[in-house]
């Protein structure tokens, strides 16, 4: 079946379908990239928020760090003094991410500082690469 476009040229139905499918594919790829980005942002944000579950147990908290990045025992104990809340949007590329973290005193909930933390994906899990304290 031939259809005449506004300029008077004939465009076959299969050609129109091909153009439509190509456009949908390109739009789908862009959407997929955005979905992937949103997923990483949500994973990193959720991960930082979940640290309050282990911060008071230094041995468990040590497992939150990437291989080769575990701080010494004294520093691990210091993490229990604070709560952690991600602020802003994480940035990520190639299995690495950074996010600003609001650090507050656990007892008073008073904000003490904001620091940029870096994370790395090990297997399917995010791990802390660098998590400076005040």
Instruction: Count Cβ atoms within 10 A of the Cβ of residue 79 and give its class: 0-12 exposed, 13-18 middle, 19 or more buried.
Output: buried
Q: Is the pTM of this model over 0.85?
A: no
The pLDDT value recorded for residue 88 is: 85
Name which residue leads in pLDDT, 6 or 50: 50
Give tens-digit pLDDT for 71-128. 999 999 999 999 999 998 999 998 999 999 999 999 999 999 999 999 999 999 999 9
User: At 18, which helix (H) or strand (E)?
Assistant: helix 13-50
- Where do the domains of the chain lie, and which CATH numbers do they carry? 36-130 (3.10.450.50)
> Across-strand partners of 94?
none
Question: Any residues with CB less than 8 A from the CB of 100 and at least 6 apart, and which?
Answer: 86, 87, 88, 114, 115, 116, 117
The pLDDT value recorded for residue 81 is: 96
Share of the chain above pLDDT 90, in %: 65
Q: What would the mean pLDDT of 66-70 be, rounded to a whole number?
A: 97
Give tens-digit pLDDT for 10-66. 555 555 545 555 555 555 544 444 445 567 889 999 999 999 889 999 999 999 999
The pLDDT value recorded for residue 39 is: 78
The pLDDT value recorded for residue 29 is: 47
- Phi then psi dihedrals of residue 55, to 5 deg: -60, -25
Tokens for 116?
Answer: 């940029």
The pLDDT value recorded for residue 7 is: 61
């Amino acid at each position: 079946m031939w259809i005449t476009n506004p300029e008077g040229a004939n465009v076959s139905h299969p050609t129109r379908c091909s153009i439509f499918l190509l456009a949908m594919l390109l739009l789908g790829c862009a959407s997929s990239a955005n979905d992937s980005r949103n997923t990483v942002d949500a994973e990193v944000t959720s991960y930082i928020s979940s640290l309050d579950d282990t911060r008071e147990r230094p041995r468990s908290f040590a497992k939150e760090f990437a291989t080769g990045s575990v701080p010494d025992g004294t520093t691990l104990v210091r993490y229990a003094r604070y709560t952690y809340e991600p602020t802003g949007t994480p940035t990520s590329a190639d299995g690495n991410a950074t996010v600003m973290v609001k650090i507050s005193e656990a007892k008073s909930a008073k904000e003490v500082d904001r620091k940029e933390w870096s994370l790395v994906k090990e297997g399917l899990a995010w791990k802390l690469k660098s998590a400076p304290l005040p």
